[in-house]
């Protein structure tokens, strides 16, 4: 059996070291920055569909209208943040007001278009979000267990912000 040349050995060691560093970086990103989460349920339709896999950024700051993943009572949920800590939320005549400012929820338009002329999408309500909590709702409001049922969620229960749908491959997109 022939011996490897000194340059070949050096090249093999160099590639091995590079591969180990790349693997370590991938593991750090996978476990500490981006987490894959499979959507389980229909509460975020049409934004997210059942069985889609989203990449959740654990380091992103949560903003109003972000889609977040959070844990409540040993269950993982995917919902949209409607109210930030201290916000005053009013739903009146199917319109959302946050701190007195009207917000158009464009992500709900597909559902609103299907309503009959006199139907309403949401019941009227008025709530002030407690400190250190978020008020979250599913985009499929008729089929969503959310803050209307389990109350506001602690800000520290948020796993992160859903950023990208990456599976199935033909549905890859940025989460809006």
pLDDT in tens, 56-101: 999 999 999 999 999 988 889 999 999 999 999 999 988 899 999 9
Residues that are catalytic: 43, 79
| Stronger pLDDT, 31 or 1, i.e. the higher one | 31
Tell me the pTM.
0.82
Q: Residue 176: which pLDDT band, with cuts at 50, 70 and 90?
A: confident
pLDDT in the model for residue 117: 72
3-state secondary structure the chain: CCCCCHHHHHHHHHHHHHHHHHHHHHHHHHHHCEEEEECCCCCCCCCCCCCCEEEEECCCCCCCCCEEEEEECCEEEEEEEEECCCCEEEEECCEEEECCEEECCHHHHHHHCCCCCCCCCCCCEEEECCCCEEEEECCCHHHCCCHHHHCCEEHHHEEEEEEEEEECHHHCEECC
pLDDT in the model for residue 4: 74
pLDDT in the model for residue 2: 63
CA–CA gap between residue 49 and residue 13 (Å, rounded): 46
């Amino acid at each position: 059996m022939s011996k490897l040349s000194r340059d070949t050995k050096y090249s093999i060691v160099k590639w091995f070291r590079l591969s180990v560093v790349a693997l370590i970086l991938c593991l750090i990103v996978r476990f500490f920055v981006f987490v894959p989460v499979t959507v389980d349920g229909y509460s975020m339709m049409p934004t997210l569909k059942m069985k889609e896999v989203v990449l959740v950024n654990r380091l992103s700051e949560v903003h109003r209208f972000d889609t977040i993943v959070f844990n409540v009572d040993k269950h993982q949920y995917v919902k949209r943040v409607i109210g930030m800590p201290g916000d005053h939320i009013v739903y009146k005549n199917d319109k959302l007001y946050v701190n007195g400012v009207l917000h158009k929820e464009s992500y709900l338009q597909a559902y609103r278009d299907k309503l009959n002329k006199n139907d309403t999408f949401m019941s009227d309500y008025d709530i002030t979000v407690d400190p250190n909590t978020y008020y979250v709702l599913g985009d499929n409001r008729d089929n969503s267990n959310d803050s209307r049922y389990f109350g506001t969620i602690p800000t520290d229960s948020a796993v992160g912000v859903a950023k990208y749908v990456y599976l199935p491959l033909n549905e890859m997109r940025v989460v809006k």
